[in-house]
Amino acid sequence: MTTKELKQMANRLRMDVVETIHHVEDGHPGPCMSIAEIITVLYFSEMNIRPEEPRWPLRDRCILSKGHACPIQYAAMARKGYFDMDELKKLRKLDGILQGHPDMNKTPGIDSVSGSLGNGVGIGLGIALGCRMQGIDNFVYVIIGDGEQQEGVVWEAAMAAAKHKVGNLIVLADCNNNQSGGKVTELSSLYPASEKWSSFQWHVQEIDGHDVEAIKNAIANAKAVTDRPSYIECRTIKGKNIPYMENNNAWHKRVPTKEEVEIARKYLGGAV
The residues of the shown chain that bind another protein, judged by CB under 8 A, are: 57, 103-105, 111-113, 116, 119, 121-131, 133-134, 136, 152-153, 156-157, 159-160, 163-164
The CA distance from 103 to 99, in Å, is 6
Question: Min. distance of Cβ 99 from another protein in angstroms?
Answer: 11
User: By the 8 A CB rule, do 169 and 125 touch?
Assistant: yes
Side-chain-side CA neighbours of 156 within 13 Å: the count stands at 9
User: By the 8 A CB rule, do 195 and 158 touch?
Assistant: no
Complex with another protein: residue 26 or 103, whichever CB lies closer: 103
The CA distance from 245 to 237, in Å, is 10
Complex with another protein: residue 163 or 266, whichever CB lies closer: 163
Question: Min. distance of Cβ 231 from another protein in angstroms?
Answer: 16
Q: What is the DSSP string of 105-162?
A: TTSTT--S---STT-HHHHHHHHHHHHHHTT----EEEEEESGGGGSHHHHHHHHHHH
Centroid of chain to Cα 254: 19
Residue 96 CA: distances (Å) to CA of 5, 29, 85, 141, 266 = 30, 19, 12, 26, 29
Question: Min. distance of Cβ 79 from another protein in angstroms?
Answer: 24
Complex with another protein: residue 125 or 212, whichever CB lies closer: 125
Complex with another protein: residue 19 or 111, whichever CB lies closer: 111
Beta strands in 165-236 (DSSP E): 169-175, 178-179, 182-183, 203-208, 230-235
Centroid of chain to Cα 96: 21
The CA distance from 180 to 139, in Å, is 30
Question: Min. distance of Cβ 63 from another protein in angstroms?
Answer: 8
Question: Min. distance of Cβ 102 from another protein in angstroms?
Answer: 10
Complex with another protein: residue 127 or 171, whichever CB lies closer: 127
Question: Min. distance of Cβ 159 from another protein in angstroms?
Answer: 6
Complex with another protein: residue 112 or 177, whichever CB lies closer: 112
